[in-house]
Every structure is written in C-alpha cells, then in structure tokens.
Amino acid sequence: MSLHESFGQPLLTFPDAEKSPLSIRAKALVFVDPRSRQLRQELEQLAPRSISVLIRGETGSGKELLARHIHRASDRGGLFVSVNCGAISPTYADAELFGYAGGSFSGSVSSRAGWFGSANGGTLYLDEIGDLPLPIQIKLLAALENHEVTRVGAQQPSPVDVRLVAATSIDLAQAVAAGKFHERLYHYLSEGRLELPALRERVGDIQSLAEYFLGIYSQRLDLPVPFISDAAQQVLERHSWPGNTRELENVIHFALLVSSGEEILPEHLNLPQVLSPLELIERQATQLIKTGSADESAALKRLLESLTQTL
C-alpha cells in the first residue's frame, strides 16, 4: 500500500446502514451471557471518561466492536478512526499516523492530517498496538501526553484532542519485559482496561450471534430464514471456537448456503460434534456390547441403563 493509497481509504464510522464497509460481525452488539453483561457494565463506566482504554482479547473476538461501543457511549463528537497497526508501512509510519506537510514527499503537494489528525475530537482505535515499532510508540505517547503532533516536514506542532482505544491479543506486560513494548506507554494505556472473554467463555452469546448472522446473510442473499435446530444449537455451544466470532460468522454463512430445508441441522455446520460424557459412555458401551460375550453384554446393558437413569 502506498502512502497516498493509505490516506485514500474511507474513515470508518459506526455503521447505521447496510452500505457500511465493515463486516457484519462488527455490528453484532450482543451482551447476553453473564460475562458479557459484566463487560458491558465496565465498558459503560469507562466510556464517559477521557482516559485511554486497552482492550485485550483473542483474535476475532470483537475488540473493535467494543471500541466502537466506547466511542458511541462517550460524548465525543468527532470520528471513530480504525487503524490496523500491523498494516502500517514501516517507511511511512510517522506520516500515516501523524500526517505530513506539503512537499514532504515526492509528489505530495498538499498536507495531510494523518490518522491522528483525522480522529481529532473523536476516537483513534489502534488494533494490535504491540505491532507498532518502538520509536513510533514513543512518539505516540508524547502525542497523547502533550495533546499535539508534529507532522512530517512541519516546523510547528498541531494541537489535537484524541482519545485512544488500543487493542491487543498478546500480554503486553510480557512484551514490556522483553523490551518490545514501551513501558510508560503500557502504563498509560493500563489506566482503563477491558478483558474481552473468548466466545467459548461466553456461551450465552452464541445463539443470539448465530441468529443475527443467519438473519443478515439470509437478507443479503435473498433467502428464507431457516431455524437453528436444537441439535445444531448444542453443536454450536459445545464447539471451542478458536476463531471466535469471526469463525461463527463463517460457519453460519456456510450452513445457510448448504441447508435445503427450514432448519439448520448439525451436518450443515461442518463442525466436529463434541460428545457429552454420557454420550461417550453410551457409544463405548454399545461397542463393547456388540463385541463381548452374552453375559458381558447383559451386564453392560444393565450398567448403561443404571448410568442413564442416574445422569
């Protein structure tokens, strides 16, 4: 991506219509599970404050969703600007974040505000902030503390009013200990912290999210909205979701395309079916009954019936 291409991208604002460039995942505000409800309470306490916020959570778990919710719940009238730190050009990192004056680069006649300046009066969201080079981390901290930035090629700093919401999927404290993350920036960010649990830890959210994705994709593809069967719901709730909400969105999209009836069934999900302890016992006992002697089979049947009644 060239410098001009990066600045040519549309600034992302919270979507209110289907024309939004965001994935539909980024619009799925779901706080059903008790852990999610607790998270929402913490979020709404932090939102009105002016402090920076650090969100930690696994990849695909919805960290940008929380950042957008913080921005909406705050009193900031400016834009929400989302930046993936891993995609920032090392060569033009200063210019991309803090802007540049006209004539600073070959062919650059006009000046640009950069991501920081574009978020003036609003919120700057830095995804995977640990990917920022250390020299840029130092300049970022200075900009936050002094409320001003100096564009590349400019003689004087420009005042800015930016609230930073950063996200990471790693333990930044370990990165600090390893000398890979600026300690003072880490402490600056840690004043406001949110831990976003993985989807497997928010089982109560799975059904609502699945139904949301199903409804949106059905509308987009002009298809009838099928029901999620009880058996399919059990498979969804037992899956470990290593890809979190992003994986759930893909699974539901796939299921909608391959289902032919009014219900989404387990076989439409293309997920391994995790058996409960009782189901495992039943399966193993059934196999032993088939291969054992008559007396052993009779004893196993009685044991299996007793376990089934007990559980």
Domains of the chain and any CATH numbers: 3-195 (3.40.50.300), 199-269 (1.10.8.60), 277-310 (no CATH)
Residue for token pair 């033009």: 92
pLDDT, residue 279, reads 55
pLDDT, residue 150, reads 85
pLDDT, residue 130, reads 96
pLDDT, residue 182, reads 96
pLDDT, residue 4, reads 34
pLDDT, residue 294, reads 66
Nearest by Cα to 255 from 276, 275, 239 = 239
pLDDT, residue 123, reads 96
pLDDT tens for the chain, 311 residues long, are 333 333 332 222 233 433 343 444 445 668 889 999 999 999 999 999 989 999 999 999 999 989 999 999 998 999 999 999 999 888 888 888 988 886 555 555 566 888 998 999 999 999 999 999 999 999 999 999 999 988 887 888 889 999 999 999 999 999 999 999 999 999 999 989 999 999 999 999 999 999 999 999 999 999 999 999 999 999 999 999 999 999 999 999 999 999 998 999 999 999 986 555 565 566 566 666 666 666 666 766 666 666 566 55
pLDDT, residue 285, reads 61
pLDDT, residue 145, reads 94
Nearest by Cα to 118 from 93, 99, 132 = 99
